[in-house]
Structure 1
Amino acid sequence: MTASKRFFAITLASTSLALAACVGSPGPVGNVAVPEPAKPVALPAYLGTWYEYGRYEAPFQKGCEGVTAQYSLRETSGDAKIRVINSCYKDGLDGEFDQSTGKAKVVDGSDGAKLKVSFFGPFYGDYWVLDRGEPNEDGEYPWSIVGEPSGRYLWMLTRESRPSAELRGALEARVRELGYDWSLVRFTQQPAP
């Protein structure tokens, strides 16, 4: 191994360890065969505010309640990049408010259903919209199910802070159809509308 290859390997290993220390270890694999996204995603219908209905617990979200995600076009970007603002209350709805701002970009050739998202500088993670509802009267998707290739992360998002029993049942059925272990789902507390 040449000196430059050794340096690169050491740098890569150090970066990986530093990231693991920042965000913790990922949870168990809840889906060993994550499917490709089921439908194309039109960016205008995906933008706006989402409420997290449930998720697989992730170290970077530990104890988060009242979770929302807001997607908008970045004002300074000419290449259709997206601003992502994730918010939550730590350890309960009356806990400390926490917010992170990141950026996302649509993966070429994915029909808009795959994004690369970054909250940590140059590091981007996969964000796949595995399925979503048909646009409502406001032109927005009413729900989405988001995952990534490892099967360790899963999010169910809705436009309402407290989805109806019918939508909750439909989300559970669809998550199971997609091959996810429903027993790993952690439901998110949301404030009353």
Structure 2
Amino acid sequence: MRTLKILSLAALLAGCTGIPEGITPVKPFEVNRYVGKWYEIARLDHRFERGLSHITAEYSSNPDGTIRVINSGYSAAAGERKQAEGKAKFVRGDDEGYLKVSFFGPFYGSYIIFGLDQKDYEYAFISGNDRDYLWLLARTPTVSDKVKSDFIDQARALGFETGQLIFVDQTSPLQ
């Protein structure tokens, strides 16, 4: 029975780092071009980001090959910026936009870059392990209407609920 529990837990944890059917991580991918600050432009709603505006993600390389992740956002209700620190690891190789990210010890979730401005690394389309997780990130607090429409069109074609997207306030002054 103990072995069954361990195998079930392992399967559950592995399921959180999978790739949804039909989604392909970008390749080639260059982590040294990806590290730095990104602004969250759009997302599907989740409890861990609910009520936050001015959301950013900052990535930096660690000496051991992992990536340090600092996500933060402003909570108007609390009147403060909230922050979470985690780490990311490449799943299959550092030339592919397929990582797993952890903010809670040994528990990882997929971070799949399925769209990327390969020329300038100015925007990225991100998925999680299923179609409940979706983000549009950019190097600037705003993006062109074309980038937004390309994101929505591509996400819709892949089966995401684009009608549920939240466009993050990145421009108004903090209260």
Q: Quick check: TM above 0.5? A: yes
Give the CA deviation at 1:110: 7.0
SS in structure 1 of the partner of residue 48 of structure 2 = helix
Letter in 1 for 2:102: S
- Output aligned runs, 1:126-145, within 5 Å: 126-136=110-120, 141-145=121-125
Structure 2: runs of 5 or more not aligned: 13-19
Question: Aligned equivalents of 1:34 and 1:181: distance in 2?
Answer: 15
Counterparts of 2:129 and 2:148, CA distance in 1:
24
Contact 2:25-2:96 within 8 A present in 1 as well: no
What corresponds to 1:154 in structure 2? Answer: 134
Answer whether contact 1:39 1:131 (CA < 8 A) is retained. Answer: no
Percent same amino acid at aligned positions?
37
Q: 2: CA distance between counterparts of 1:49 and 1:128?
A: 18
Distance 1:134 1:50 in 2: 15
Larger radius of gyration: 1
Q: Deviations over 1:85-120 (max 9, x none)?
A: 00101147x932101111111112473211111100
Kept after mapping to 2: 8 A contact 1:85/1:102:
yes
Unpaired runs of 5+ residues, structure 1, are: 17-31
Q: Distance in 2 between matches of 1:34 and 1:60?
A: 26
**How far has the Cα of 1:33 moved from its partner?**
4.1
Looking at structure 1, the residues matched to 5 and 161 of structure 2 have their Cα atoms a distance apart, in angstroms, of: 40
How many equivalent residue pairs? 165
TM-score (normalised: structure 2): 0.82
Answer whether contact 2:29 2:95 (CA < 8 A) is retained. yes
Alignment of 1:16-165 (within 5 A): 33-74=21-62, 77=63, 79-91=64-76, 95-109=79-93, 111-136=95-120, 141-165=121-145
1:167 paired with 2:144, answer no
- Name the CA distance, whole Å, in 2 between partners of 1:8 and 1:179: 33
